[in-house]
Amino acid sequence: MIVHDKMQQDYIYDYSEPIGQNFSPDFQPELTPQEMLSMGIFEGHYMTDCQHEFPQHWFQNAKLSDKPDIKCNCFHIKSRQSLQIWQQKGWIIGPDVRGWFQWYCRYYMGRRLHNIDAIQIRRWKAFKRHKAQILNNCLPFDTTCRLKQRQALLQWAYNPFF
């Protein structure tokens, strides 16, 4: 794959695994990138200029917008920080200049970068603590409880409906 978009030029990577298969045993996301996009993530503005890198069917039912719009989020709330904050906090790792979700999309497509993958999988596993907080503080299936955490879980490939 050769990437040419607003944030990345001439980045080249290969696929070493079949799409959606052969994930690390300790990385079992609950949602695919396509499901996440169709449910509504990152205010609809995350992947608007790099769709050519991924299968077109991922975007058929995606909630996208030319500018950030909280109505595109599954829970209709703001639950993201700016790219500048991600960069300041060191959350942008390796060649995935848009962050964890871009890493996940590329991983799902079959790219493997073992050192980067290990870091991102650790981050994904650590994020599960938010699911425990919802379980401990909300009634079962009360999807009006802790909306920001639910939206954030969705943006990390965890099913927010439990």
Q: What is the pLDDT of residues 18-40, one digit of tens each?
A: 999 999 999 999 999 999 999 99
CB atoms within 10 A of CB 145: 13
On whether residue 145 sits in a domain, the answer given is: no
Q: In terms of Cα–Cα distance, which of 94, 116, 102, 83 is closest to 157? A: 102
Which DSSP state fits 3? Answer: E
Give residue 27's domain range. 2-127
φ, ψ (nearest 5 deg) of residue 10: 60, 30
On whether residue 141 sits in a domain, the answer given is: no
What's the pLDDT at 49? Answer: 87
On whether residue 150 sits in a domain, the answer given is: no
Provide the pLDDT confidence category of residue 155 given band limits of 50, 70 and 90: very high
CB-based contact 48:37 (threshold 8 Å): no
Residue 59 CA from chain centroid, whole number = 14
The yes-or-no verdict on residue 95 having pLDDT over 80 is yes
On whether residue 109 sits in a domain, the answer given is: yes
What's the total number of domains in the chain? 1
Mean pLDDT of the chain: 94
- Structure-model confidence comparison of residues 20 and 87, the more confident one: 20
On whether residue 70 sits in a domain, the answer given is: yes
Q: In terms of Cα–Cα distance, which of 149, 125, 119 is closest to 135? A: 149
Residues in CB range of 77: below 8 A, 6 or more apart? 70, 147, 148, 151
On whether residue 55 sits in a domain, the answer given is: yes
On whether residue 137 sits in a domain, the answer given is: no
Give the mean model confidence (pLDDT) for residues 66-77: 95
Which tens digit of pLDDT belongs to each residue from 103-146? Answer: 999 999 999 999 999 999 999 999 999 999 999 999 999 999 99
